[in-house]
Chain A
Amino acid sequence: MTTSWNQPPVLKVRGLKVYYETPKGDVLAVDGVNFDLFKGETLGLVGESGCGKSTAAMGILQLVTPPGRVVDGEVLLEGHNLLGMSEQALRAVRWIKLALIPQGAMNSLNPTMKVSAQIKDAIIAHEGKQANKGIKPRILELLTMVGLPGRVYDLYPHELSGGMKQRVCIAMAIALNPTVIIADESTSALDVVVQRVVAQTMLKVKDALGVSMIMIGHDMGLMAQMVDRIAVMYAGKIVEIAPVKEMFAEPKHPYSQLLIESVPSLKERKPLKITEGITHDPRNPPPGCIFQLRCPFVMDICRVQPPVMRETNEGQLVACHLYPESVDGSLINVADVARNP
């Protein structure tokens, strides 16, 4: 692993807010997201459907489309704020610094262009026109890197399987050796076997190139094997960030606990834990903690005061009133209480 924790992060996201306009007010899809991404690191961003993880990715990529809009925040990529950059300046950064492995593998490629042409246009857009002689071996090498045969070069997307298309997308993402790759549910549409192979391809390529990666998904099991740190998102906010080991050994936020307990097991049938309570109206979050309506340990303070992110132990940050700082500055460990209410 080439992760460098002591260097400044390559990507700093601060107070990112992305809202969707609706006739009955704005939906607060991403409401103040903060995190750092270090060089060579893989950060998992998990949460249930609609929690804002993909929207957060689009916010970072500056690809939010109406009715959505970035309301506030900073996305610092190697120190440069992407928000407020002109479209032209942004275009120069795209793909060279910040690449995307998209969500829907099936439709992410232009059906009327050959695979090679779609990788080529990204290269040409940033490096200028060049002879096919130079580009072709490059593309073939990219295809080899993601485990695709050379004949894919001349094929159209509809002639590929889902897994192959996703590999093409990976090859495309690494074409210009970007600093950061965002993989937005890149393996969600694939069956478990192909999912595993594609995920391994992604890790292999990532390690070979030393890029940093944000992996968005809802599969905690897959995440556990792929990422260095996990950020758990709920209703537009990150509620906990922790190294993957700590997250699975000792999840602090009640929502993280429920999420991890809900990972299906082959050995036993267990009920889905996260069924209690309802999600609030995303246009009108309650005052205090956003998870209060579904939290099994909800306290009076949760209904009034929003919790702030606190570091409970090395590298593990959580936003929850269950972990207040005590008078002497040490943290009260209520994790056991949380697990056995």
Chain B
Amino acid sequence: MGRLTLGYFLRRFSIFLVTIWLAATLIWIIPRLAPGDPITAMVGRMIRQAGYVENSDIIIEGWRERFGLNDSLPVQYVRYLGNLVRMDFGYSLAYFPTTVGEIVGRALPWTVGLLLVAVTITFFLGNFLGALLAWRGTPKLVKYLIPVGMIFTSIPSILAAIFLLYIFAFFLDWFPLTGAYKAGMTPSLSIEFITSVIHHGTLPALSVVLVSFGYWALGMRGMMITVEGEDYMHLARAKGLNPLYVLYRYMIRNAILPQVTAFAITLGTLVSGQVLVEYIFAYQGMGNVIFSALRNQDFPVIQGTSFILILMTALAVLIIDLIYPLIDPRISYERS
């Protein structure tokens, strides 16, 4: 166990950069493997719709020039990478002249805010319940009740969302049906606005928590049972330590390690949003952006969101690489 060395950080960071570069290159290459080009296809669609488009050749040629498709592939590639570095993904096709950056910039905070809270709650709740399921000191009644609570795990999140909407928004009218905040409100940092955001976010967050906490609970239970069989558990009991201390410091502390890795990866994929949940609640997050981009064949938006997703996943892996040696002393910062 050593402290975080500059060498280790640089090694991990270069792996991070290489990952991003490879992924970005793939996103660039794959569409270009397909025959034809998007401009011809677009003008072709216009011709089919309108019957005849005057000077279509000139239009095609002009747009090809405008989008830089006449340059050689290496030039296009370098320009593409340059744009990525500046986070410039071009214009949305469906909402021209809005840029992809603007669309993503508007949606991303909502999704990250909603899902970060939901996924974090899920992680802690799931692991806590999983630990209780495996722990010997847990009251029998709790052990029987937890699996009952986990029936939602076997339900798709859309059904859970509809179920929650029906009970709490439609029938009981405790929560609003749609939106991220009260219509007509201007986003600000006022208490009123924040309350509205929490009020609107509760059901979407709850549907994510309900559907996925069982996954963490089962994983944690398995890990706890493995740890329970370890020799150091015997010794911990023989030492006459406080059972709660043993649970926390000996069992959970060791059982949680693989869960933390899985959590980091979950956080990375979080920016793609819960497409269906966001759609059902008409929540203005990334899930909705991706959903409508796919429907409108809005390629720049798809490309931009894919890249953000890759970036976040790689970032999450980088962060976990950097903090993992702190939570598991067996992983060393030193080069082995």
Contacts and interface: CB of A to CB of B under 8 A. Distances in A.
Interface of A: 61, 63, 87, 90-96, 98-100, 102-104, 106-114, 121-122, 125-126, 156, 158-159, 169, 172
Interface in B310-336: 327-330
Contacts of B330: 111, 156, 158
B239 A156 contact: no
Interface string B222-239: 000000001110111111
Contact of B249 (A98, A107, A113, A122): A113
Contacts, number: 82
A90 B253 contact: no
Given A111-B330, A112-B254, A158-B330, A121 B249 contact: yes
A159 to B, nearest CB: 8
21 contacts: A61-B238, A91-B240, A94-B239, A95-B240, A99-B238, A100-B238, A102-B238, A107-B231, A108-B235, A110-B249, A110-B254, A111-B232, A111-B328, A112-B257, A113-B253, A121-B239, A121-B241, A125-B240, A125-B242, A158-B329, A169-B235
A327 B168 CA distance: 91
Nearest to A58: B234
A16 B299 CA distance: 76
B75 interface: no
B307 interface: no
Contact of B239 (A87, A113, A125): A125
B1 A110 contact: no
A109 B234 CA distance: 10
A184 to B, nearest CB: 9
Contact of A112 (B234, B238, B328): B328
Contacts of B291: none
A46 to B, nearest CB: 21
A27 B13 CA distance: 57
A135 to B, nearest CB: 15
Contacts of B242: 91, 125
B245 interface: yes
A110 to B, nearest CB: 5
B215 interface: no
B231 A102 contact: yes
B139 to A, nearest CB: 15
Given A63-B234, A107-B232, A110-B249, A122 B254 contact: no
A106 B230 CA distance: 10
B250 interface: yes
Nearest to A66: B136
Interface string B165-178: 00000000000000
A114 B1 CA distance: 11
Nearest to A100: B238
3 A-B pairs with least C-beta separation: A94-B240, A107-B231, A100-B238
Contact of A122 (B232, B241, B243, B327): B241
Contacts of A87: 243
A325 to B, nearest CB: 41
Contacts of B237: 63, 94
